[in-house]
Amino acid sequence: MSSVATQQADTHSGAHEEETGLWSWITTVDHKRIAIMYFVTATIFFFVGGVEAMIMRFQLMNPEQSLISAELYNQLFTMHGTTMIFLVAMPMAVAFFNYVVPLQIGARDVAFPRLNALSYWIFLFGGLYLNASWLFAAAPNASWVGYATLTSSQFSPGVNVDFWFISLSILGIASIAGGVNFITTIVNMRAPGMKLMRMPLFTWMTFVTSFLLITAIPVIAVALIFLGFDRLFGTVFFDPGMGGDPVLWQHLFWIFGHPEVYILILPAFGVISDVIPTFSKKPLFGYPIVVYAGILIGFIGWGVWSHHMFTVGLGPIADSFFVAATMIIAIPTGVKIFNWIATMWGGSIRFTTAMLFSIGLLAVFTVGGLSGIMHASAPVNLQQHDTYFVVAHFHYVIVGGAMMGLWAGLYYWFPKASGRFLNETLGKWHFWTTMIGFNLTFFPMHFSGMFGMPRRIYTYSADLNVAIYNQLATIGAVIFAISAVIMVWNLVQSWRKGEKAPADPWGAPHLEWSIPSPPHHYNFPELPTVRSREPLWNDGEREEILAVTMGEATEEPHMPNPSYWPILLAASITLAWALVMTGVWWVIALGIIPVFFCTLMWGLEPAFPEDH
């Protein structure tokens, strides 16, 4: 694989200018452009999910309101959850995998550039397909966990659940392909000297996350296929009347669902493990421990799924096992937090926006982690499960953890991607409005949950006396929405006319900062040789990192051809899945033909320019 990147093309006449038209973006296989497309798409979906959340917050602002119908509310919370997990948090992390990992390991692209493009297009089409359900007033309405038997054709006779299981099946393909791609890239395409234990933490966490992706996604794929067969072809996997078991769905879903939590959080841990050392001017404290803790979290993450199921009635022995496993996972997480604090200890901390978001993550993610310990205790969970306390908990983990980490990464790597800084003043406004809005939205939910407000309810009785907490949450949500607008304003403004950024604007230690901002489409003119964990920080040994001084390549490196087969194959896969909704076997069979055709043409297409 690495030979791909080291091949040198024959001399071209003059410097090869990158194409910039729409067609060049549609056919691109450049990991950096794909990353930008991932980020922009995920940000747009972030606003879609955010609007859904805002409507819900206004519906819940006062007790016994009916601004919208119960049915619409149920569609909104289902779509909000599905969107934020599958179309925002995951792909936004993948955007960073794409941009950063090849640069951090000194590679010219990912291992399978066309597969990478395919992942993006499948993600886009899957997301559009899911949201197309709004046009039919048939958005999924059985919650993002889609528990059987509510999703059966008996209790959900419309196409709502069909949209849900089909789009998740489509999106899963993108995730698995992405996982395979990044594992291969990280295993095979590291620059000389980039041993595993010299990799930056972000690359490490991408590596762990990719393993979680390729192992967890197939489990939900199986569950979704069972569900599809139950709904369309009359099988009875989850039909209790025929001896099927609805609890089976919950096991399958959470065997996927809990590793999914770590799929969301580990990339953020990776980001701040790179950001905190840079802005503390100190190497990461306890690097091997932080790496092992991440791997351990990934592993143990497989053995805790039933802590989502303490109310299901699995019996005291199963409950005790999952209590123990869940509590054990708190230990490596705690270790990481102490290591990050120790990294800052004795450092010289610069409060850039990226650093603020990292510190913010430490402050608020801890709250989510600790409320997690509360409901890891099975008996306590019996009170907290499916209440707003849990809603508070997982928003502290996913927004306060995953999203804060990714926003830290945004401010950190934006200069690399655009050649311009994000405006720091706007950035600080973004950070503080996020902190205030986020905490004001979700902290009161601990109280409403404790005082008896279940989640997934369209409205609540005035008797419960939880209106005040809901009103605070709604005000907080407005502030949080403003923070998102500030972020996008900053992105747009800074992309066009932000302050120019040099190659290494932060004095950061890793390879991505050794090349110009933005990088050449071939990244590294020559492959760097790595001798340490912080290649750019080795005072006196700077000559060992040849890439630092690299400008233009004298010869254009041999890069893969652009291709329109990824977008066509993605479209045909989406079409094939969409036809599943008909439930007619021969229509479904016909739908597979374009998939075969596009795959064949893909296979016949030369991946590289022909040799002269």
Looking at residues 82 to 141 of the shown chain, list those that interact with another protein (rule: CB under 8 A): 141
| Choices 34-42, 63-71, 119-127, 208-216; region in contact with another protein by CB under 8 A | 63-71
- Nearer to another protein among residue 26 and residue 145 (C-beta): 145
CB of residue 226 to another protein, shortest distance in Å: 16
Among 123, 285, 357, 407, binds another protein (CB under 8 A): 285
CB of residue 208 to another protein, shortest distance in Å: 19
Among 16, 428, 456, 558, binds another protein (CB under 8 A): 456
- Nearer to another protein among residue 360 and residue 525 (C-beta): 360
Site for another protein in 292-331 (CB under 8 A): 311-313, 315-316, 319-320, 323-324, 327-328, 330-331
Question: Is residue 163 within 8 Å of 126, Cβ to Cβ?
Answer: no
> Distance of CA 169 to CAs 27, 176, 217, 374, Å?
24, 11, 9, 33
Quick one: tokens of 255? 């065997």
> Distance of CA 527 to CAs 195, 230, 367, 534, Å?
15, 53, 43, 16
- Nearer to another protein among residue 439 and residue 572 (C-beta): 439
Question: Is residue 591 within 8 Å of 579, Cβ to Cβ?
Answer: yes
Site for another protein in 567-596 (CB under 8 A): none
408 binds another protein (CB under 8 A): no
The residues, ordered by sequence, that sit 6+ positions from 463 with a Cβ below 8 Å of its Cβ are: none
Give dist(CA 6, CA 181) in Å, integer. 19
CB of residue 60 to another protein, shortest distance in Å: 10
Question: Is residue 39 within 8 Å of 92, Cβ to Cβ?
Answer: yes
Site for another protein in 244-273 (CB under 8 A): 244-247
Helix (H, G, I), strand (E, B) or coil at 452: coil
**Binding string, 41-60, against another protein, x = CB under 8 A?**
--------------------
Query: Amino acid identity, residue 368?
Result: G
- Nearer to another protein among residue 44 and residue 464 (C-beta): 464
- Nearer to another protein among residue 239 and residue 512 (C-beta): 239
Residue 342 CB coordination number (10 Å)? 14
Site for another protein in 330-389 (CB under 8 A): 330-331, 334-335, 337-339, 341-342, 344-351, 359-360, 362-364, 366-367, 370-371, 373-374, 377-387
Among 193, 286, 560, 594, binds another protein (CB under 8 A): 286
CB of residue 578 to another protein, shortest distance in Å: 26
- Nearer to another protein among residue 242 and residue 607 (C-beta): 242
H-assigned helices in 377-526: 378-384, 388-397, 404-418, 424-450, 467-497
CB of residue 575 to another protein, shortest distance in Å: 31
Backbone angles phi, psi at 520, to 5 degrees: -60, 160
- Nearer to another protein among residue 30 and residue 239 (C-beta): 239
Residue 609: name the closest of 563, 558, 555 by CA.
558
606 binds another protein (CB under 8 A): no
- How large is the angle between the packed helices 424-450 and 388-397, nearest 10 degrees? 150
Return the sign of the alpha-carbon dihedral for residues 472, 477, 483, 485: negative
- Nearer to another protein among residue 345 and residue 585 (C-beta): 345
Among 16, 281, 531, 558, binds another protein (CB under 8 A): 281
Give dist(CA 588, CA 581) in Å, integer. 9
State the residue for tokens 């405006």: 423
Give Dmax (Cα) for the chain.
80
Among 2, 62, 149, 561, binds another protein (CB under 8 A): 149
Residue 499 CB coordination number (10 Å)? 12
- Nearer to another protein among residue 105 and residue 325 (C-beta): 325
Site for another protein in 535-564 (CB under 8 A): none
> Distance of CA 570 to CAs 26, 37, 573, Å?
12, 15, 5
Give dist(CA 414, CA 291) in Å, integer. 25
Number of residues that bind another protein (CB under 8 A): 107
- Nearer to another protein among residue 341 and residue 589 (C-beta): 341
CB of residue 529 to another protein, shortest distance in Å: 22
CB of residue 171 to another protein, shortest distance in Å: 22
| Choices 67-75, 184-192, 218-226, 406-414; region in contact with another protein by CB under 8 A | 67-75
- Nearer to another protein among residue 365 and residue 421 (C-beta): 365
Helix (H, G, I), strand (E, B) or coil at 560: coil
Among 41, 273, 353, 439, binds another protein (CB under 8 A): 439
- How large is the angle between the packed helices 353-376 and 424-450, nearest 10 degrees? 10
237 binds another protein (CB under 8 A): no
Question: Is residue 410 within 8 Å of 267, Cβ to Cβ?
Answer: no
**Binding string, 157-186, against another protein, x = CB under 8 A?**
x-----------------------------
What is the DSSP secondary structure assignment for residue 183, as one 8-state letter? H
Among 407, 469, 506, 602, binds another protein (CB under 8 A): 469
Give dist(CA 34, CA 99) in Å, integer. 8
